[in-house]
Structure 1
Amino acid sequence: MNKNRQLKEAKVSEIKEKLEKAQSVILSDYQGLTVEEDTELRQKLRASGVEYKVYKNKLVTLAAKELGLEGITEFLEGPVSIAFGYEDVTVPARILSDFAKTHKKIELKAGIVQGDIYDAEKVKQLAAIPPKEVLIAKLLGSFKAPLSNLAYVLNAIKEDKENQAAE
């Protein structure tokens, strides 16, 4: 087997491994970004634990087909970058979407979230979901409000009984 084929097979297995391991995978068109803009985007993604790569579309297509993700191959045309999110499924979509608001050259194309194929519109909806920390804070706040109200009512009853006993 020639060396070129071995290198391609190694890349395909690397891509397969990343696709299997990632909680979410976001594809975007990055054509037209300057080196500075691309560096800025990569730094933001890296700081959030997101891996950002550019592979040959043919190699990604081969890896996707081997994993049964053929639906993603229609989005692999032209220059495509891939963001692999390994923890919070919303992080890659949110960072890319926020970046696209100020840099019109980047465009969300599609995604894979826990094995499901998302089109660009669903990826944008995913990006709109607040971070996990915000959702947890909201949940805890919703637990706290009824407890605070209960404590207020119980305190009012106690004060009312103390006032009646004092009279």
Structure 2
Amino acid sequence: MEQPRPEKVAIVEELKERFDSSAAVLVTEYRGLKVSELEELRRELKAKGADIKVFKNTLVRIAASQSGNSVVEPLLEGPTALTFVKDDPAAIAKSLREFAKAKPALVLKGGLMGGKKLGVEETLALADLPSREVLLAQFAGALSAPMQKFASLLKAVPQNFAYALQALIDSKSEQG
């Protein structure tokens, strides 16, 4: 068996580190995309905290297997680009879907998130989720609504007591 070249070993190590440090890895096929279009996508994703890169499928298979992410191996057919997501997988999946609508040469194949394989349907469902910021705002709104009701109830008790006292005072003054 021949000794692997140091460059290939370094790429496998880089891939293993990227698999381990990413919140998600989304797999696309880029056959037919122009280099300028791939660069445009790369810039757009980088601005959103993701990195898309093309590696040899054989090296990706080795790294995925060594890092315990072998579930991604069936997606590695044809010219494949991997998008490594740091923060918000939903926003990145949405960007990839929108780019694929504009440039049909980009095909979403699936991905990996939390050690689980994502198929095309799950990746598209991920793209339909609201962004992290919207979800946090919705969560904060859901938490604040009961607190607002509770605060208005607490305010109503002394307010109603004051109205009752005023009504009692008014009725005494009318009698006297």
TM class, shorter-length: 0.7 to 0.9
Q: For 1:131-142, what aligned pairs fall within 5 Å after superposition?
A: 131-142=131-142
Counterpart contact for 1:51–1:83, Cα < 8 Å: yes
Query: Match of 2:109?
Result: 109
CA distance in 2, matches of 1:20, 1:145: 39
Query: Match of 2:96?
Result: 96
Query: Match of 2:123?
Result: 123
TM-score by length of 2: 0.83
Counterpart contact for 2:16–2:63, Cα < 8 Å: yes
- For the residue of structure 1 that corresponds to 2:79, the secondary structure is coil
Counterpart contact for 1:41–1:99, Cα < 8 Å: yes
1:41 and 2:24 aligned: no
Distance 1:151 1:71, change over 3 A: closer
Instruction: Count the aligned residue pairs.
Output: 166
Counterpart contact for 1:25–1:82, Cα < 8 Å: yes
CA distance in 2, matches of 1:87, 1:139: 18
Q: CA deviation at 1:3?
A: 10
Counterpart contact for 2:25–2:112, Cα < 8 Å: yes
- For the residue of structure 1 that corresponds to 2:111, the secondary structure is strand
Query: Match of 1:152?
Result: 152
Query: Match of 1:61?
Result: 61
CA distance in 2, matches of 1:70, 1:3: 23
CA distance in 2, matches of 1:6, 1:83: 24
Query: Match of 1:25?
Result: 25
CA distance in 2, matches of 1:6, 1:22: 24
CA distance in 2, matches of 1:157, 1:70: 62
CA distance in 2, matches of 1:74, 1:35: 25
Share of identical aligned residues, percent? 34
Deviations 1:115-146 (A, max 9, x none): 11111111112222222211111111011112
Counterpart contact for 2:52–2:81, Cα < 8 Å: yes
- For the residue of structure 1 that corresponds to 2:130, the secondary structure is coil
Of structures 1 and 2, the larger Rg is shown by 2
Unaligned runs of 5+ in 1: none
- For the residue of structure 2 that corresponds to 1:77, the secondary structure is coil
2:90 partner letter: T
CA distance in 2, matches of 1:65, 1:161: 71
RMSD: 2.1
CA distance in 2, matches of 1:95, 1:134: 16
Unaligned runs of 5+ in 2: 168-176
